Amino acid sequence: MCKAVETNEYRNLFAEYGFDDVEIQNRMKDIYNTIFYGEEGEKFYYDSGDDMGFVTDTGNNDVRSEGQSYAMMAAVQMNDKELFDRIWKWTKTYMWMDYGIHAGYFAWSVGLDGVKNSHGPAPDGEEFMAMALFFASNRWGDGEGIFNYSQEARDILSACLHNPHPMWNPDNKLIKFVPELEFSDPSYHCPHFYELFALWANEEDRAFWKEAALASREYLKIACHPVTGLNAEYANYDGTPNTTRNGFHMFFSDSYRVAINIGLDNVWYGGNEGLSKAMERQQEFFCVTNPGELNYFTYEIDGTRNERPVLHPVALIATNAAASLAASGKNARECVDKFWTTPLRTGDRRYYDNFLYLFCFMALSGNYRVYK
């Protein structure tokens, strides 16, 4: 398997399946423009003052470190420096914490007025911010102050490891759900990011990030069920569902992101047979074992159906398609076709679904890339 990080050649799975490349590229731009520059009721990005901006979690009416970091990644991938700088300045101004037990981290939830709803962080925000900042540095060059992108990225990663409440367990090298709890969220695991952190983080931390990449790949193998390929939203360090928080032991909203993370890792760094098989099992589960149910139900990771409805059906369709970047089974094409015919989500829950829709479309069209 070729490694795109070495060859700079990225699979365009849509084109491989016969879709018109001009239509693919135009549609990707339309998705991005709808999210950030579309009509009211479509977009969820908003300018703030002369030089800042934020994205709203439309289902919860707040600003999240997750969403800001996603917006930064989308902007750098689409070469939209003005938007990137606006979002980053708002994030550093209102979300960053410079005192207390979480100094160096970003508050996971902030009001639309910039007032922190919580002084706790969520590690997926930090890892996406750091990766987006490194890409910004490599694509546009470093500026001054907070726009010295690479230095800001290194500072974030240093805090993640050296804060008295680290975001990664120093022994098993696995990312935590939050710094104070000793369990993980499988969808936080981005080994393709950690490989790059091992090149660009502070020198004393580079060996850790290399080990973290290997540890995350092994963790995802055991977090994905051996029959269904499904993973829990929160999981223990041995991969089993974590039951300390009611309802989060299921294959639910966070869980969907595992598929795109595995797909991207496969494109950027080459195949991992165990993870590819997991994605083939997941697609088999939705295409063959439970055809037609992708939009409706939630599941235990062994496939037992719950009556609790899916909260983000479009996100699930999108990420199940992104699994095709790792899966080579008979269901890969069906999942991509279903995604292609699924429109962006509308309504109050569009934030999460449409961000994952954008990332999956970027990945499947060969436009989610490493900038080095």
Tell me the catalytic residues.
66, 254
Q: Find all residues with CB under 8 Å of 100, minimum gap 6, and list them.
A: 119
The Cα 255–Cα 164 span in angstroms is: 28
Q: Give strand ranges (E) for 263-309.
A: 297-299, 305-309
Q: Which two tokens stand for residue 147?
A: 């726009």
Dihedral angle, C-alpha 256, 369, 268, 230, nearest 10 °: 0
Helix and strand element counts for the chain (H, E): 14, 6
Q: What is the DSSP letter of 240?
A: S
Q: Residue 232's closest CA among 244, 241, 243?
A: 241
Tokens 């490694």 label which residue? Answer: 3
In the chain, the amino acid numbered 215 is A
The Cα 41–Cα 347 span in angstroms is: 7
Q: Which residues of 2-15 are buried (b: 16+ CB within 10 A; e: fewer)?
A: ebbbeeeebbbbbe
